[in-house]
Amino acid sequence: MVKLESVHGGHNNVAVGVRKGNYKEEVLADALAKRVAELTGARYIKQDSGDVNQNLAYFVREMDKKRGANLSIHFNAFNNSANGTESYSYDGDDVGEKLSINMSKKVSDVLGTFNRGNKNAPLYVIDRSIDVTTLLEVCFLDNDSDMEKFMAKREEVAHAIASCYENYKGNNTTEKPKEKSPVVNEPYKPRQEVRAFWFPKGHKKLAELKKYCNDNKIYFTESFVANQVRVNMKWFSQNSPSKMKLIEYLEKNNINYDMKLEFYENV
């Protein structure tokens, strides 16, 4: 077992997470992170108020301040019917993989959700942090049945997560959860992804666009179909100045693009 050094709930109120009805990922994840910190004595990393790129970089900076295992708590979303619990580890990291397998199982056992198990994916906080980082997707926030289970068992879930680490203080802690009802009723804000496509692999315009993103601190992922690459730049608010500037750049360079309202979980 490893010692949990830091824990945080993904996203913040600018770089918002997934939403449905009254459920807000960043609020639920933050409350759970606080509780896991209490149950382990791990450092709780408070969410900042930066945009998505600043936010991810901030978490990594905070995690790297001390050596030790980190945990990033999230909720998933897809199409309202996908369900279950999963956890991510760095590809090739045996310690992280074991931890992640264990966590997904323990959390799904306590919730009664489907155990989707350990996965590897290019996730910023896992890839860029120095030490073992686990990213837990507690359950699907857009799935009513998953969320009914979670809302009934928040305290048990916190214990299940904490018990994956050697500094878990155990069941006999007398501290009571401090966050009683972290569900806030506010209208949700849509966020947009700008997708530029399709570039042949190795195309000059592709390299230039990636440089543009890096220079302007725009977070992006790439999707591949055969030899073609699409660049997915995220997340922007409706009237984001950096989105306007990006679109100007795309049009000036005759690059095809579209915009997508995005609720799908993508950290």
3-state secondary structure of 49: coil
Asked if 21 and 38 touch (Cβ cutoff 8 Å), the reply is no
* Sign of the torsion formed by the C-alpha atoms of 12, 72, 37 and 21: positive
Interacting residues toward Zn ion by CB under 5 A = 10, 17, 74
CB of 23 to Zn ion, least distance (A): 12
Give the nearer residue to Zn ion in terms of CB position, either 31 or 229: 31
CB of 111 to Zn ion, least distance (A): 17
3-state secondary structure of 261: strand
Q: State which amino acid sits at residue 266.
A: N
CB of 144 to Zn ion, least distance (A): 19
Give the nearer residue to Zn ion in terms of CB position, either 30 or 212: 30
CA–CA separation, 201 and 1 (whole Å): 42
CB of 29 to Zn ion, least distance (A): 7
CB of 91 to Zn ion, least distance (A): 19
Give the nearer residue to Zn ion in terms of CB position, either 5 or 25: 25
Give the nearer residue to Zn ion in terms of CB position, either 21 or 200: 21
Name the residue with the smallest CB distance to Zn ion: 74
Give the nearer residue to Zn ion in terms of CB position, either 10 or 96: 10
Asked if 53 and 218 touch (Cβ cutoff 8 Å), the reply is yes
Give the nearer residue to Zn ion in terms of CB position, either 138 or 233: 138
CA–CA separation, 262 and 22 (whole Å): 18
CA–CA separation, 26 and 13 (whole Å): 7
CB of 11 to Zn ion, least distance (A): 6
Nearest to 76 by CA among 68, 89, 86, 62: 86
